[in-house]
Copies of this chain bind each other. A is one copy, B any other.
Amino acid sequence: MRQFDSEQLAQLDASYRRNLINCLPGYKPLLLIGTQNEAGITNLALFSQIIHLGAAPPLIGVLFRPHTVKRDTLENILATRSFTLNQVLPEWHVQAHWTTANWGESEFDATGLKEERKANFPAPFVEGSPVQLACLLEEVQTLQINQTVLVLARIEQVYVAENGLREDGTLDYDALGTVAVTGLDEYHQGQSLGRLSYAKPSHYPSKI
């Protein structure tokens, strides 16, 4: 094992440390956030700092870097209180990555990813995404520790490809085929090891 103590971590080259620390959690969710500003200009941004907060009511959290520079996605969410989350397919994950460039125009126009509009929701979805969520802003908390901004949102509408939805409400990610991310720039497909039974002391878990 290679070891880094706190002093070594502090002394690492900034790029090396950023790579290492971003990689430590392992596989992370990967979602494109679709927004528009009050003038209707759309924006699309790739995020991995996404966390499930609760199921009843359905809540999800998105962490933004400190709001010390212009952040279009965060500002659009604060202005319109709405955004979409869209999972990414391998076939267009390079375009999804390209949204992270510093574009002067809408990332939809720039990268060729297509907007999809749905009734009764102001923010744009990504066409062809097999898991699309319409979210409404509930709360914003700035974490004092490093000024990152945690957006807490209610999941208002869910769209899931039929082939990935099981009878018990779980999603079959082998069927959906969407992508995870590690670190800042590496993308992955998954392969299921199967589901395990609800854990009880009396029985070693079995596949279900």
Contact = CB atoms under 8 A, between A and B. Distances in A.
Interface of A: 1-6, 9-10, 12-31, 48-61, 63, 85, 87, 90, 93-94, 97-104, 110, 130-133, 138-139, 141, 143-146, 148, 150, 152, 154-162, 165, 168-171, 173, 178-180, 182-183, 185-201, 204-205, 208
Nearest to A146: B54
A144 B139 contact: yes
Contacts of A90: 193
Contacts of A201: 101-104, 110
Contact of A185 (B15, B50, B148, B195): B195
Q: Say how many copies of this protein the assembly contains.
A: 2
A131 to B, nearest CB: 6
A25 B9 contact: no
B17 A160 contact: no
B200 A101 contact: yes
A104 to B, nearest CB: 8
Contacts of A131: 24, 26
A167 to B, nearest CB: 9
A143 B139 CA distance: 9
Contacts of A133: 24
Contact of A170 (B26, B143, B186): B186
A170 B183 contact: yes
